[in-house]
Amino acid sequence: MREAHVGHHSTWLDAFRSAFDGMAADLPVVLNARGCREGWIQAELFRRLSPSDPAFSVNFYSLNKGKTADLYGEIPSRMLAELKVLGTEGFYNKNLAGCSNLSLFLPAKEGDRVDLCADHLAVVVDAVDSLLRDFGRLKSASESFERYLILVLQTTVGQTGLARRSVPFGSRPTRPRSIIREYGCASGESVETN
């Protein structure tokens, strides 16, 4: 087994970057493994981050309504994170808000941004696992935690890609930080936006 431990890190952002850099070659294949891709990434993050943080856990810390955070850690600081994975196979539209209608998330023209507002959050279907549902859960978590929304996807095109690129999941103090990594299908190269 190859060495997976990422070593001690000064920030969670650095730890996540290092862990994903270590997974980059395998991710383009794993992203199409419906039903297990998020679990595989959680296991890899546990394998890589728990040696330097014995409290690091997956699917552990209770957020609300009986749901747990995907990731929890204490070193270098208290942290909660939600992980969302979108490959080239599956229900992209539902993965954004839990519904198939993307019209609220599409900009008037390419390059415009769509700021999230109450109208967007009102269409989120709580019963369906989606990016905006996870965002809302993290937003409602205690501000005593660093909160991260980690989006891992293959480069997307069409309306889903346009909607996802148009909604800024910024790093305002009241919002979770966003880490978005896009992986090409064959090359394994990645693009990161914060």
CA 190 to chain CA centroid, nearest Å: 15
User: What pLDDT score does 68 carry?
Assistant: 85
Average pLDDT taken over every residue of the chain: 74
* pLDDT tens string 176-187: 555 555 555 433
| 194 residues of the chain, pLDDT tens digit each | 444 555 678 899 999 989 998 998 888 788 777 788 889 999 999 999 999 999 999 998 777 666 788 999 999 999 999 888 775 555 555 677 776 677 777 778 877 777 777 777 777 777 677 777 888 788 888 888 899 888 887 665 455 555 555 555 554 444 455 555 555 543 334 444 44
User: What pLDDT score does 159 carry?
Assistant: 55
Closest to 152 in 3D by CA, of 15, 11, 37: 37
User: What pLDDT score does 74 carry?
Assistant: 94
- For residue 179 the two structure tokens come to 């880490």
